[in-house]
Amino acid sequence: LHGGLDQAAQDRAVAPSPAGRRKVVLDTSIAETSPTIEGVRVVIDSGLARVPVYEIFVEDEYRLGWFTNDLGDNPVALDIGAHVGCFSVAFARKHAGARVDAYEASPSTADYLQRNVADNDLGSRVHANNLAVQGTAGTLELADNGAASGHNGVLHLTADAKKVSVRSVSMAEALAVSG
């Protein structure tokens, strides 16, 4: 959610889920406020970890079983800012019938995402997209310092940063793909 998103799209994002479906909201570390959404029972803070692989897969930091155990047999997750795919892979491994639509804007980081999806034989269920997601489709300029750096993104557009322009889809398009 952001201020540039039209009112109808914002209303759809915060509307209560249909009967039998749960809405999962994952917040990024760049958010300045947290939305209040009716029915949200779990809040997950992404923290400042660059690649929390051990915490996710060994310590189960996301507590996937706890907050996803009643999503049904074929849950769908929308992972925006998927980074190297830790959440996407963990979610798909936890739920054999799951589909994940993962979006990572940084080309160098998206390479890691795509490789991790392939290495885990999840290509048929985890759709790794090297696209930005923003209010309207178009392009987005961001820093891409390579190697899945925590300094890739719009917050690190310094004068000496390697800048790239990437294609973007609108939030409404990403939501429509995921259903």
State the pLDDT at residue 3: 62
Over residues 44-63, the pLDDT tens digits come to: 333 333 455 666 766 777 78
pLDDT of res. 38: 63
Strand partners, 43: none
Pick the more confident residue, 30 or 144. 144
Helices (H) and strands (E) in the chain, counts: 6, 6
Q: How many CB atoms lie within 10 A of CB 91?
A: 26
- Report pLDDT digits (tens) over 115-151: 888 888 899 999 999 999 999 999 999 998 877 777 7
Question: Contact at 8 Å (CB) between 134 and 77?
Answer: no
* CA–CA distance, 83 with 41 (Å, rounded to integer): 25
